[in-house]
Amino acid sequence: MTDQIPSKTHQTQLRLDYLAKGYASFINRLKQLFFNGYAGLVYLFLYAPIILLVVYSFNESRFPTYWTGFTLQWYRVLFDDHLVGAALKNTLIVATSSTIISTIIGTMIAIGVERYRFRTKPVVDGLLIMPIIIPDIAMAIMLLVFFKLIKMNLGLYTIIIAHVAFNISFVAIIVRARMATLGTAMEEAASDLYANEWQTFWRVTFPLLIPGILGGALFAFTLSLDDFVITNFTSGPGSTTLPVRIVGMTRRNITPEINALSTLMLISAMTLVPLSLWLQRRAKMS
């Protein structure tokens, strides 16, 4: 029994072990603190401007230099600004119609490229991602030249056409990815169960593609909402959209009204993008 009672040296040893352990955990905690702090700084760098933007939209003062008190008056000014109202209306018209058109065309392209073999497929494949890699400014000038060439008056229609032109690619790529993960097994099962091509598409392929199509549409809608460069080049008198209007407003002076407007746009983007991602992820799981 005696050798079970810890001896004095043993106790000292235990205490030393304890101290060593304490030191190691202290170092670990320090390391953790450092890395957490570093990560925190990165996030601060990313998000501080956004937070400031939002905060100063509630500032009483005209100038973003001092905080003088909380107010909602800039939002009131914003809602009374009929130019902003008209721009918002234009933006929604452009975003909605270009989303619908590009979703339909983009989905059709995705199905065609993914399901059928044809000789020009590599070309179509390559052309499909072109609008994504072409710089916005180049695309904007191309479209402007094109509209001038066919003598089309710049206005809402030209903006819509321009937005459809870049949105098709995004929709097609998202829908195509969904198609690729689906494979052909479901369609084969449907045709084995007496469904012709038409029935197979509407009963099986399309319902299974819906998450991808909705994800693509939301993405297109978001892109269309905040496009400035291409819109700026293809818009005409009376067809100003919100981003173009904001840039116009900043030319004169920056008022908290712009902060308020940006905050609202930020909120709408923050709801749309996660929604689009969530739809795509849900599709992947089923």
Partner 1 sequence: MTVPAVELVNVIKHFGDVVAVNDVNLKIEDGEFFSLLGPSGCGKTTTLRMIAGLETLTSGEILLRGKAIGQTPAFKRPVNTVFQNYALFPHLTVERNVAFGLEMHKIPKEEIKKRVAEALDMVLMGDLSRRRPNQLSGGQQQRIALARALVNRPEVLLLDEPLGALDLKLRKAMQLELKQLQEQVGITFIYVTHDQEEALTMSDRIAVMDEGKILQIGAPQEIYEHPNTRFVADFIGETNFLEGTVSDINGEAIDVSLDDHTIVKAHSDLSVQKGQKVGVVIRPEKINLASSGMVEGKVLEIIYIGTDTRYVVQLKDNTSITVREQNLNSTQANKYKRGDKVGLNWDPANAQVLKK
Instruction: Write out the residues near partner 1 by the rule CB under 8 A.
Output: 185-186, 188-196, 199-200, 203-204, 207-208, 286
CB 114 to partner 1: min, Å:
18
Q: End-to-end CA distance of the chain: give it in Å, rounded.
A: 64
For 57, how many CA atoms within 13 A lie in the half-sphere containing its CB? Answer: 19
What interhelical angle do 82-115 and 73-80 show, nearest 10?
80
Ramachandran area for residue 183 (φ above 0: left; ψ -120 to 50: alpha; else beta)? left
Q: Which long-range contacts (CB under 8 A, 24 or more apart) does 138-147 make?
A: 139/165, 139/166, 139/230, 140/229, 140/230, 140/232, 140/233, 140/234, 141/233, 143/230, 143/233, 143/234, 144/233, 144/234, 147/234
Beta bridge mates, 59: 70
CB 147 to partner 1: min, Å:
42
CB 191 to partner 1: min, Å:
4
Dist. CA 209–CA 283, nearest whole Å: 8
Nearest CB to partner 1, comparing residues 3 and 192? 192
Nearest CB to partner 1, comparing residues 66 and 206? 206
Nearest CB to partner 1, comparing residues 5 and 285? 285
CB 282 to partner 1: min, Å:
12
Nearest CB to partner 1, comparing residues 199 and 268? 199
Nearest CB to partner 1, comparing residues 89 and 203? 203
CB 245 to partner 1: min, Å:
43
Nearest CB to partner 1, comparing residues 200 and 240? 200
CB 186 to partner 1: min, Å:
6
